[in-house]
Amino acid sequence: QVQLIESGGGLVQAGDSVRLSCATSGRTFSSYYVGWFRQAPGKEREFVAAISWSSGNTYYADSVKGRFTISRDTAKNTVYLQTNSLKPEDTAVYYCAASSEFLGGPVYSSRRYSYWGQGTQVTVSS
């Protein structure tokens, strides 16, 4: 059974940093993208970042480029999202998700992701 378990969220102040973790299990993700999405109250889920497990190539939404960094630890089967210089508008539930690299569609589309975690809340106060 595939599992993606997020952790690391919490309540922080503007300008702070948080590292989110996504622990994966249940299958080999060597040919997968693992992505982070977020959803704020009343808004649609939006793409944040993604990483190719095999190549390490990374992809970012413009809104987080330069502030967030996605990385993976293949030995620990874990993907991280380092979030720096947090802003109140970064407040959301953050989800990690996994998508086979052999599926079509852009990496930023939530539709291509088959596996999802339960989410972790990040709240940034001003």
The number of helices, as runs of H, and strands, as runs of E, in the chain is 0, 11
Give CA–CA dist 43/1, Å, rounded. 30
Strand partners for 91? none
Q: Which DSSP symbol is given to 43?
A: S
Amino acid 104: pLDDT: 83
Confidence of residue 84 (pLDDT cuts 50, 70, 90): very high
Across residues 17-42, what is the average pLDDT? 94
What is the identity of the amino acid at 107?
Answer: V
Amino acid 4: pLDDT: 97
pLDDT at residue 69 greater than cutoff 90 = yes
Amino acid 32: pLDDT: 94
Give CA–CA dist 39/17, Å, rounded. 19
